Amino acid sequence: MKATSAAKTRLTLRVDLGGDRSVGPGKIRLLEAIRDTGSITKAGIVLGMSYRRAWLLVDDMNNCFREPVVAAQAGGSRGGGAALTPFGKRLIEQYRAIEAEAHSATAARLDELEAACREPKEATRAKAHAAPRRRTIAR
């Protein structure tokens, strides 16, 4: 059995907080981009999402917790902007720590799963030789 690069297998972590509330890699990347750019608009651009989508995610997080994660300043002569609150910075730290602990705890199992995977070319070739699936149409 041939082992492949561990970089192909990854663990994605989402923390469900009850109800429809959750924090996952996308929201954390958005917070990090806001931290780095000082702007919801610029963070959205960096991540390839619209301002509206970025703003809705920030609004969701601000309403999810007792404390806001992002403080936005209105535009004007100074141009506005956004900054993480101390709680927003702590949220990133907590999430990244949970993520690192989960990766450490599962590394051996992820390596085993990776080693059991077919190479991408093998998977494509196996699909090409598989019998075509037949669909039945209900009448």
Beta strand 70-73 pairing with 21-23: unpaired
Q: Is 138 within the bounds of a domain?
A: no
* Tokens matching residue 122: 């093998």
pLDDT digit string, tens, across residues 59-118: 999 999 999 999 987 776 666 799 999 999 999 999 999 999 999 999 999 989 988 988
Give the pLDDT confidence score for residue 10 in this predicted structure: 84
- Length, in residues, of the chain: 139
Domain that holds residue 48: 21-128
pTM for this predicted structure: 0.75
CATH of the domain at 26: 1.10.10.10
pLDDT digit string, tens, across residues 43-52: 999 999 999 9
Q: Is 13 within the bounds of a domain?
A: no
In 19-116, at which residue ranges do the beta strands (DSSP E only) sit? Answer: 21-23, 70-73, 81-84
Find where tokens 């209900």 sit: 138
Q: Is 26 within the bounds of a domain?
A: yes
Beta strand 21-23 pairing with 15-18: antiparallel
Give the pLDDT confidence score for residue 2 in this predicted structure: 47
